[in-house]
Amino acid sequence: MTEFAGARVLVTGGAGFIGKRLVAALLDEKAEVVVADLRPHPDPAVRSIVGDLCDPAVRDTVVEHGIDGIVHLAAVTSVLRSVEDPVATHELNVEATAGLLELARVREVPRFVLASTNAVTGDVGSATISERLPLRPLTPYGATKAATEMLLSAYSAVYGMKAGALRFANVYGPGMRHKDSFVPRLMRAAAADAGVQVYGDGSQLRDYVHVDDVVQAILLAWRTGLAEPMIVGSGTSVSVNDLIDAARQVTGKPIPVTHVPAKQGEMPAVVLDISAARALGYQPLHDLASGMATVWPDFMASQGEGDAA
C-alpha cells in the first residue's frame, strides 16, 4: 500500500496527453481518480466530469468536499493559440485556475499541483535555467503560467496549502498523437514517408522529457507536499538534429529535412538545471533513445483513432 491508496485526486485535463498517463499511474497506486475535462476520459471505468472549467458552476461541481488534492493540467497549451487569443488564454489559464484554487482553500483541499512551463523564464540565451532566475515570459502562454505560479505562492504562504508548480520541459511519449509539437510531427512525417521543416540549422538545444518521468515528478510533488516551483526535465539537452536522428532510428524512415528561416524569438538553447528535483528524489529514467522507442509503436497502434488516441 502506498500513500495514494484511497486518496481522492481530481485531475483536470485528465483526458489529455499527460493526464491519461497520470491517471493510469494513479490508478496503479490505487488512488480514487476523478477527471475534469472538456471530453470524457477514454476509459469508461474512470469517473469523468465533462465540462468547461471556465464555467464557475463546473468548477463548483468538480472540487468536491473531502478530496485530497488537485492536479491541474487543463490549460490552453499552445503558444500559438495563446498569441492569437490572449483573452481566452487568460480566462482558462489564470481565471479558472484562480477559481479552482479558491474553492480548494474554502473546501480545505490540502494539495494543488499545477502544470507550469519553463517558458515562464523567457529567453536567457545559452545560460542554464534554474528556479532562481527572474520570470520574464515572452508569450501570453508563458505569462499566464507565471501569473498562476504567483497565485500558488500566495496560497502556500498565507493559507498553508501545499501548492507547487512543476515547470515541464518539452514533454514527449506515448499518447501524443493529437498534439502539434515536433515529436508527433516527426512521427506523422515518418508514417507518410514525408519530411519535416526545421527552423534554422537544427543545432538549437532543447530538453525533451519523457511523459513517464513527468508523471513520476507529479507523484513526487504530491508525496512531498511541494509548495514552490520546480523544473522537471530530462536534465540533458539535445539538438533538434539529434532528435530527428533518434526519430529516424526508431522509425527506420529517412525523414528528409527542409531548413527554413528561424522564427523571431526562437531560443538558441534550453538547458535546464534539474538539481532541485533530483534533491527531492526525482530520477529521470528515459534518455532520448529509450524514450523515442516508446513513441513510434504507440503512434502506429493509434493510427486512425483520431483525437481520442
- Which residue number, 196 or 253, has a Cβ lying nearer to ligand NAD? 196
Q: How far is the CB of 293 from ligand NAD (least distance, A)?
A: 19
In the bound state with ligand NAD, the residue whose beta carbon lies nearer, of 58 and 109, is: 58
Grid coordinates representing 101 are 484554487
Residues near ligand NAD (CB under 6 A): 13, 15-19, 37-39, 52-54, 73-75, 77, 92, 115, 117, 168, 170-171
Q: Which residues contact 279 (CB under 8 A, 6 or more apart)?
A: none
Question: Considering beta carbons, is residue 84 or 108 the nearer one to ligand NAD?
Answer: 84
Q: How far is CA 98 from the centre of its chain?
A: 19
The one catalytic residue in 141, 155, 208, 282 is: 141
We find the least distance from the C-beta atom of residue 41 to ligand NAD, in angstroms, to be 9
301 HSE (CA, 13 A, CB side)? 9
Output the smallest distance, CB 90 to ligand NAD, in A. 12
Phi, psi of 263 (to 5 degrees): -70, 155
Closest CA to 112 of 230, 227, 263, 240: 227
Nearest residue to ligand NAD, scored by beta-carbon proximity: 16
Residue 182 or 253 having the CB closest to ligand NAD: 182
Helix residue ranges per DSSP H, 43-139:
56-62, 79-84, 86-90, 97-106
d(Cα 42, Cα 58) in Å, to the nearest integer? 20
The phi and psi torsions of 112 (rounded to 5 degrees) equal: -145, 115
Q: What angle do CA 89, 91, 93 make, to 5 degrees?
A: 60
Residue ranges with strand state E in 151-237: 162-168, 170-172, 196-199, 205-206, 208-210, 230-232
CB of 163 to ligand NAD, least distance (A): 15
CB hemisphere CA count around 117 (13 angstroms): 24
Select 180 or 201, whichever has its Cβ closest to ligand NAD: 180
Known catalytic residue: 141?
yes
Please count the residues of the chain.
309
Our CB check for ligand NAD shows the closer of 70 and 115 to be 115
Shortest separation between residue 13's beta carbon and ligand NAD, angstroms: 3
CB of 6 to ligand NAD, least distance (A): 25
Which of the residues are catalytic?
141
